Structure formats: structure tokens, C-alpha cells
């Protein structure tokens, strides 16, 4: 953590490390609400997967939860605006396929992240 110790960020990182330590020891996050742990997860996964932001992290995990052939049809998490199958980022993702099963990624995505609601299309007034 590069910025640890700087003001609120330091306090935040300390809090997150506490949460992780607690989870390792007791098997769950000390916070009742999911959202508290979520930002930490997004940051950690973002760093690990080489993407930024919750949407990109969720897309990457979603892709890992599908067979390669299915995943290739999804929008690429790297932000290139291509399908995953047309971007070299798929090779980055494929490295993670050996670490856990597709089922684990699907389950994890469902349990650890609050789904992003798609913005409703603006209604045009007559
Ligand atoms: Zn891409």
C-alpha cells in the first residue's frame, strides 16, 4: 500500500487490513454490511486483474465464471470497447482460470458484490 499513513487513506487501509485479518481468523467480515468490504475487494481485485473500478472487476469475474467460448462474447473488462474474444486481455484473464473453478467465480461474484443497477433509459416527455 503506497499511500498508507496519509490521513483518511491510512485509516481506511488500517480498517481494511483489520477486516481481512478478522476474516482469516473468524471466517467472515466483522461488518454487517456488504458495502464496507466491497470497496476493498474491488481495489484488491482491480490490482490483481489489472483493471480499474467495480464494473470492470465484476465483468472480469463474470467472464471467469463462464466457459472461454461464452466469455469471449462479453464486453471486455479492460475498457477497450471490444468483445473479450477480440482483446489480448483475455490472455490475462485466462491465467486466473487455473486458480479457481468457474463455479467459484460465479458464487463469489454473487455473494461478495452488490449488483450494479443499469441506469434506466430516460423517458421522453411528450
Ligand atoms: Zn480489452
Distance 96 CA to ligand 1 centre (A): 16
Q: Please report, for the chain, the start and end positions of each structural domain, with discontinuous segments joined by +.
A: 10-112
Residues measured by CB to lie within 5 Å of ligand 1, the ion: 76, 78, 80, 87, 89
Ligand 1 centroid vs 107 CA: distance in angstroms? Answer: 24
User: How far is ligand 1, taken at its centre, from the CA of residue 75, in Å?
Assistant: 8
Higher local confidence (pLDDT), 4 or 96: 96
pLDDT in tens, 54-94: 999 999 999 999 999 999 999 999 999 999 999 999 999 99
- In three-state form (DSSP H/G/I as H, E/B as E, the rest C), the secondary structure along the chain is CCCCCCHHHHHHHHHHHHHHHHHHHHCCCCCCCHHHHHHHHHHHHHHHHCCCCHHHHHHHHHHHCCCHHHHCCCECCCCCCCEHHHCCHHHHHHHHHCCCCHHHHHHHHHHHCCCCCCCCCCCCCC
Amino acid at each position: 500500500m503506497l499511500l498508507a499513513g496519509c490521513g483518511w487513506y491510512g485509516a481506511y487501509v488500517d480498517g481494511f487490513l483489520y477486516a481481512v485479518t478478522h476474516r482469516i481468523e473468524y471466517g467472515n467480515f466483522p461488518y454487517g454490511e456488504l458495502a464496507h468490504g466491497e470497496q476493498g475487494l474491488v481495489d484488491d481485485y482491480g490490482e490483481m486483474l489489472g483493471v480499474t473500478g467495480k464494473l470492470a472487476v465484476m465483468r472480469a469475474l463474470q467472464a471467469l465464471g463462464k466457459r472461454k467460448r461464452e466469455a469471449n462474447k462479453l464486453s471486455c473488462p479492460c475498457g477497450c470497447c471490444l468483445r473479450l474474444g477480440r482483446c489480448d486481455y483475455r490472455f490475462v484473464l485466462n491465467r486466473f482460470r487455473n486458480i479457481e473453478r468457474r463455479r467459484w467465480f460465479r458464487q463469489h461474484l454473487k455473494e461478495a458484490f452488490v449488483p450494479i443497477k443499469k441506469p434506466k433509459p430516460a423517458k421522453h416527455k411528450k
